[in-house]
């Protein structure tokens, strides 16, 4: 399957390169291919990207840090297509994943196949400030998750995001924006989706998932949609702020994290179901090379511990708790950036109480062509329940045509 998709992409590249040389003009970072039909009935932009990285990790064994574990991986390798069809008001995006981490997660609920499709969504601007989205894409969740993995100022997203985000799903979204004054902008985003994550093919096992998000930009919009790009690469000349609030209800969820995690089975093969609620509050601030992102997340469940037919715990439970993430960076005129992050998590445990976890990260980046070509590194220290746990050093390279 992966070979067939890769071959198809290469054939598309060959076709468009031979048919668009005279009507397409592009450069590095603007897409490998930019093709527009002569009658302006459709367009295609093709932009492959990949991330490679190395990681060294030292675990604390209660007395001292042991020998490091080393790992070299292709973290992401993706093919992205976007453009418009029939009218500039009807846009689309297709993104395919090729790396092991991108396609892993085969199960009976996706016919035991690789999860290659990341995004397959149509966006219809059917009225002045309204857009209707349909297909598979990211839900309007916490700002850190919606920011593309290609546009991060540290090697990867935070622990808050990996534990509590609501990620991609299949469904529809309605989006609207309005001005509340000369500069003040408000954006509303509503979503109804299947609730079990991406590439599920075997029907809806639980209930549906409902998401609502409000965003306020009191000082106007950011340059180049910079509220959803980490690092102030555009060096905002005046202060810009985006504050967002998200409410998510996954009704009768059957997985430990709603969209992800193990399915919670009972002894007869049926699925345990419970309502899961996730709340987010976040902000993005930028000014003259300085950037600050702050996030709060909280997940609760009606009955977090999965129970079997006889009322005894099955061993599965919903991942509940809350987290705070603070991240800031400064971009020097030379396009070097120093960034730091603090993340605090509290996981609820069966029987009451919580397990606190904290992580401190310091990173450095060199942006050669913005986020399109960059070298990054970071060093993280993690503690669990107040005790030393882990030190990790990472080095990564990004290239995005």
Q: Which of 131, 46, 125 is nearest to 93 (CA)?
A: 46
Percentage of the chain exceeding pLDDT 90: 83
pLDDT for the residue 20: 46
Number of other residues whose CB lies within 10 A of the CB of residue 315: 12
CA dihedral 156, 157, 160, 162 (to 10 degrees): -70
Q: Given the structure tokens 């609207």, which residue do they identify?
A: 176
Confidence (pTM): 0.91
Cα–Cα distance measured from residue 264 to residue 277, given in angstroms and rounded to the nearest whole number: 17
Instruction: Output phi, psi for 151, to 5 deg.
Output: -120, 35
Q: Which of 221, 215, 167 is nearest to 194 (CA)?
A: 167
Tell me the pLDDT tens digit for each residue of 44-59.
999 999 999 999 999 9
**3 state SS of 149:** helix
DSSP class of residue 110? G
Q: With a cut of 80, say whether residue 209 has pLDDT above it.
A: yes
Angle at 141 between CA 193 and CA 282, to 5 degrees: 160
pLDDT for the residue 388: 86
Domain residue ranges in the chain:
2-400
Q: Which of 394, 399, 332 is nearest to 363 (CA)?
A: 394
Percentage of the chain exceeding pLDDT 70: 93
pLDDT for the residue 26: 76
Average pLDDT, the chain: 92
Q: What is the mean pLDDT of residues 325-350?
A: 95
Q: Which of 69, 16, 76 is nearest to 48 (CA)?
A: 76
More confident residue, 347 or 285: 285
pLDDT for the residue 204: 85
Cα–Cα distance measured from residue 279 to residue 245, given in angstroms and rounded to the nearest whole number: 8
Tell me how long the chain is: 401
pLDDT for the residue 21: 45
- Residues 217, 188 contacting (CB under 8 angstroms): no
Lowest mean pLDDT among 98-102, 174-178, 352-356: 352-356
Instruction: Output phi, psi for 150, to 5 deg.
Output: -80, -15
In whole angstroms, how far apart are CA 288 and each of 152, 218, 321?
18, 17, 36
Band of residue 353 on the pLDDT scale cut at 50, 70, 90: confident
- Residues 330, 359 contacting (CB under 8 angstroms): no
Cα–Cα distance measured from residue 186 to residue 179, given in angstroms and rounded to the nearest whole number: 6
Q: With a cut of 80, say whether residue 136 has pLDDT above it.
A: yes
CA dihedral 367, 147, 166, 378 (to 10 degrees): 20
Cα–Cα distance measured from residue 401 to residue 32, given in angstroms and rounded to the nearest whole number: 5
CATH 3.30.70.20 correct for 2-400 = no
Band of residue 64 on the pLDDT scale cut at 50, 70, 90: confident
Q: What is the mean pLDDT of residues 227-236?
A: 98
pLDDT for the residue 313: 94
CA dihedral 342, 347, 352, 353 (to 10 degrees): -20
Tell me the pLDDT tens digit for each residue of 284-298.
999 999 999 999 999
Number of other residues whose CB lies within 10 A of the CB of residue 355: 12
């Amino acid at each position: 399957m992966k070979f067939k998709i890769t071959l198809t992409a290469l054939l598309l590249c060959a076709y468009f390169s031979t048919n668009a040389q005279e009507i397409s003009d592009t450069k590095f970072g603007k897409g490998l291919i930019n093709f527009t039909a002569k009658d302006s009935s459709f367009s295609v932009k093709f932009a492959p990207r990949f991330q490679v990285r190395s990681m060294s990790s030292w675990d604390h064994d209660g007395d001292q840090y042991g020998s490091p574990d080393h790992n070299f991986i292709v973290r992401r390798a993706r093919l992205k297509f976007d453009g418009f069809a029939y009218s500039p008001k009807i846009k689309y995006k297709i993104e395919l994943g090729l790396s092991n981490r991108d396609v892993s997660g085969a199960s009976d609920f996706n016919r035991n196949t690789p999860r290659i499709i990341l995004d397959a969504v149509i966006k219809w601007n059917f009225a002045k400030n309204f857009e209707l989205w349909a297909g598979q894409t990211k839900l309007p969740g916490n700002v850190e998750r919606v920011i593309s993995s290609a546009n991060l100022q540290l090697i990867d997203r935070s622990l808050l995001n990996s534990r509590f985000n609501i990620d991609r799903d299949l469904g529809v979204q309605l989006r609207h924006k309005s001005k509340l004054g000369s500069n003040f902008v408000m954006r509303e985003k509503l979503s109804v989706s299947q609730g079990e994550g991406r590439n599920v093919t075997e029907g809806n096992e639980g209930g549906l998932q409902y998401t609502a998000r409000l965003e306020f930009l009191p000082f106007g919009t950011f340059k180049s949609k910079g509220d959803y790009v980490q690092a102030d690469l555009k060096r905002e000349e005046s202060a810009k702020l985006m504050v967002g609030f998200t409410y998510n209800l996954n009704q009768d969820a059957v997985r430990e994290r709603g969209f992800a995690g193990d399915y919670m089975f009972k002894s007869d093969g049926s699925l345990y179901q419970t309502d899961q609620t996730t709340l987010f509050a976040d902000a993005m601030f930028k000014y003259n090379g300085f950037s600050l992102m702050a996030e709060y997340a909280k997940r609760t469940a009606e009955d977090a511990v999965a129970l079997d037919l006889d009322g005894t715990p099955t061993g599965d439970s919903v991942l509940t708790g809350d987290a705070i993430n603070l991240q800031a960076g400064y971009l020097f005129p030379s396009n070097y950036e120093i960034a730091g992050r603090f993340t605090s998590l509290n996981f609820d445990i069966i029987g009451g109480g919580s397990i606190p976890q904290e992580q401190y990260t310091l990173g450095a980046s060199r942006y050669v062509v913005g986020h399109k070509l960059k070298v990054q590194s970071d060093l993280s220290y993690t503690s669990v329940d107040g005790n030393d746990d882990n030190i990790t050093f990472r080095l990564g390279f990004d290239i995005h045509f």
